[in-house]
């Protein structure tokens, strides 16, 4: 069996965007270590080509169907019915493009920041790029799990080798948390394989019905992996340490893509495979989401380290994402997916900006700054744009995502919606407080010597500024990709709910 849907340029496009960076990492392996400029340019060119090749996914995407598109399927290990099976739908296609974009920005921001083991750094960066893209494209559970685990190793190295003073502790903590969750998911995948007709084919598995008791067990097995990755409260403790110690590129990857994979897992696997249990567990998931929103926001108010503050803000923002997902209605689900993109753009940009100022000051302590706006006006303007987007100012991308999530949350549970709205208020408080501390007040004498942003740094941030206002002003460009796929997901849930209600009625009649 061999089935590949090619795009207009005649390439198996998903395989290309996955494996071009991976092949590129082996190409860099052949370059002499002393030729640092060639290493950097090779990585940059490869990721630019990958990004450009991802555009046909958007240009040729059929928004009228929820079916998987750009499908590539061939036999891989016939004895176990394992296939090389790739495809994207309205839920995953935008993340493939976002992943490609952030890869380019990570190379640019690391150009001067990474000064040791440069060859190994860019090899790790390209490997994780391919593995992350593979996660969003895989439709065979075995293949998905390989990509899911493969990205842990280069991320572990990026934190542990090029991170801060406590990098080894942070890297080991990150690895152990994610590995334990992944092992439980692996057990769930094996059980699903045995109970689902001995296939790893996700599309085939989604079209089967599983007993409630089996769904319940499997839901929690998958939850272990996805909740750690999001990270949901109380499985979030690895994230602040990983963000704080990671180099700037590592923080951008973590915030922009890696933690989205947990939320994506709920959308791609948990909801369609275990709809009955998802409906039953939704109130508890909403409660955990609200706790994460408020807890993460409150903790931000007492942070003294720039990166730790943005890291805890990620806990709060991802709480909004899971709130939207487990609202289990169209507004919430679309808001959750859009907010995943928004968070990748805005928080990724904030980490890029923190990395830029750290290169000048070599400190992340908020107290070491002050009066930055008078010395670095261009930097202050960029920071203001992403600060306003983070707090959800109307006209920015953050507003659209939070509005849809709160609308879905109120529809699902009024108390959850009200409590989540308080997180928006606290979020505005800590971000404006941060901006005041950094850019106004008395000018720190050390700040006077800092140069403003250079051309490379400005070019790195401009695409993200464009996305902030594009999504904020005309979100339908992005929402239109997900309408049909989200509609199918809601339909599955409604059908499952109807079957469950019918079964209860029949049991009462007996």
Residue 474: per-residue pLDDT: 92
Residue 162: per-residue pLDDT: 87
CA distance linking residue 268 with residue 88, whole number of Å = 11
CA distance linking residue 296 with residue 302, whole number of Å = 11
pLDDT at 312 over 80: yes
pLDDT at 9 over 50: no
Residue 231: per-residue pLDDT: 84
Instruction: Return the structure tokens found at 333.
Output: 């689900």
pLDDT digits (tens, 9 = 90+) for 253-267: 888 888 888 899 999
pLDDT at 494 over 90: no
pLDDT at 18 over 70: yes
pLDDT at 382 over 80: yes
pLDDT digits (tens, 9 = 90+) for 33-63: 888 889 999 999 999 999 999 888 888 888 8
Give Dmax (Cα) for the chain.
Answer: 82
The arrangement of strands across the sheet holding 69-77 comes to: 2-4, 69-77, 82-88
Q: Which string of b and e fits 233-258 if b means at least 16 CB within 10 Å?
A: bebbebbbbbbbbbbbbbbbbbbbbb
pLDDT at 444 over 80: no
Q: What pTM did the predictor assign?
A: 0.89
Instruction: Return the structure tokens found at 290.
Output: 């609200």
First to last CA, the chain: 48
pLDDT at 10 over 60: no
Sign of the Cα pseudo-torsion (193, 66, 324, 395, in order): positive
Residue 510: per-residue pLDDT: 59
Say what the alpha-carbon torsion angle 155, 297, 362, 252 is, to the nearest 10 degrees: 30
Average pLDDT of span 352-362: 86
- % helix, strand, coil for the chain, step of 5: 75, 5, 20
Cβ atoms of 338 and 400 within 8 Å: the answer is: yes
Comparing C-alpha atoms, which of 404, 412, 136 is closest to residue 281? 412
Residue 467: per-residue pLDDT: 93
pLDDT at 3 over 50: no
Burial of 469 (0-12, 13-18, 19+ CB in 10 A): middle
CA distance linking residue 170 with residue 31, whole number of Å = 31
Residue 450: per-residue pLDDT: 83
Residue 362 — left, alpha, or beta (φ > 0 → left; ψ -120 to 50 → alpha)?
left
Ramachandran angles phi, psi of 96, nearest 5°: -65, -45
pLDDT at 7 over 50: no
Average pLDDT of span 286-293: 93
CA distance linking residue 262 with residue 254, whole number of Å = 12
Mean pLDDT, the chain, integer: 87
Cβ atoms of 324 and 408 within 8 Å: the answer is: yes
CA distance linking residue 423 with residue 398, whole number of Å = 13
Residue 1: per-residue pLDDT: 36
| Cβ-based neighbour number of residue 116 at 10 Å | 8
pLDDT at 501 over 80: no
pLDDT at 6 over 60: no
pLDDT at 168 over 50: yes
CA distance linking residue 35 with residue 42, whole number of Å = 11
**Residue linked to tokens 């509609």:** 487
Instruction: Return the structure tokens found at 180.
Output: 């334990």
Ramachandran angles phi, psi of 159, nearest 5°: -75, -45
| Cβ-based neighbour number of residue 449 at 10 Å | 9
Q: Strands 82-88 and 2-4: what pairing?
A: unpaired
Band the pLDDT of 505: cuts 50, 70, 90: low
Residue 294: per-residue pLDDT: 93
Tell me which H or E stretch contains 312: helix 306-327
């Amino acid at each position: 069996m061999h089935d590949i849907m090619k795009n207009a340029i005649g390439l198996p496009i998903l395989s290309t965007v996955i494996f071009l960076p991976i092949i590129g990492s082996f190409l860099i392996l052949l370059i002499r270590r002393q030729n640092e400029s060639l290493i950097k340019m090779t990585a940059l060119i490869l990721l630019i080509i990958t990004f450009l090749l991802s555009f046909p996914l958007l240009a040729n995407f059929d928004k009228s169907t929820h079916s998987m598109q750009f499908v590539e399927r061939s036999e891989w290990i016939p004895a176990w019915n394992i296939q090389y099976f790739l495809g994207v739908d309205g839920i995953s296609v935008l993340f493939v493009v976002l992943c490609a974009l952030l890869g380019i920005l990570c190379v640019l921001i690391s150009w001067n920041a990474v000064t040791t083991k440069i060859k190994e750094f860019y090899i790790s960066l390209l490997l994780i790029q391919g593995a992350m893209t593979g996660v969003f494209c895989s439709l065979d559970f075995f293949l998905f799990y390989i990509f899911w685990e493969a990205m842990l190793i280069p991320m572990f190295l990026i934190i542990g080798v090029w991170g801060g003073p406590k990098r080894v502790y942070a890297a080991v903590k990150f690895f152990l948390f994610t590995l334990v969750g992944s092992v439980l998911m692996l057990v769930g995948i094996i059980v699903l394989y045995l109970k689902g007709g001995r296939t790893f084919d996700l599309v085939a598995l989604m079209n089967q019905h599983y007993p409630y008791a089996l769904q319940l067990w499997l839901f929690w097995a998958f939850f272990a992996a996805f909740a750690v990755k999001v990270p949901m409260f109380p499985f979030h403790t690895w994230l602040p340490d990983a963000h704080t110690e990671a180099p700037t590129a590592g923080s951008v990857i973590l915030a922009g893509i890696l933690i989205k994979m947990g939320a994506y897992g709920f959308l791609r696997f948990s909801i369609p495979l275990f709809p009955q249990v998802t409906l039953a567990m939704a109130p508890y998931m909403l409660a955990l989401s609200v706790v994460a929103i408020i807890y993460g926001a409150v903790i931000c108010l007492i942070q003294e380290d720039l990166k730790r503050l943005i890291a805890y803000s990620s806990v709060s923002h991802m709480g909004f994402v899971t709130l939207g997902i487990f609202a289990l209605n169209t507004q919430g689900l679309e808001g959750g997916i859009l907010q995943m993109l928004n968070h990748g753009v805005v928080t990724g940009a904030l980490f890029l900006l923190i990395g830029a100022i750290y290169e000048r000051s070599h400190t992340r302590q908020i107290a070491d700054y002050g009066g930055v706006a008078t010395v670095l006006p261009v930097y202050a303007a960029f920071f203001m744009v992403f600060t306003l987007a983070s707090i959800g100012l109307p006209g920015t991308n953050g507003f659209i995502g939070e509005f849809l999530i709160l609308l879905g949350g109120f529809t699902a549970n009024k108390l959850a919606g009200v409590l989540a709205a308080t997180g928006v208020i606290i979020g505005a408080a800590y971000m404006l407080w941060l901006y005041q501390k950094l850019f106004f007040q008395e000018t720190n004498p050390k700040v006077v010597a800092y140069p403003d942003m250079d051309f490379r740094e400005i070019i790195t941030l401009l695409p993200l500024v464009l996305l902030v206002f594009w999504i904020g002003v005309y979100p339908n460009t992005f929402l239109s990709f997900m309408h049909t796929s989200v509609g199918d997901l809601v339909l599955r849930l409604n059908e499952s709910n109807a079957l469950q209600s019918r079964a209860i009625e029949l049991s009462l009649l007996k």
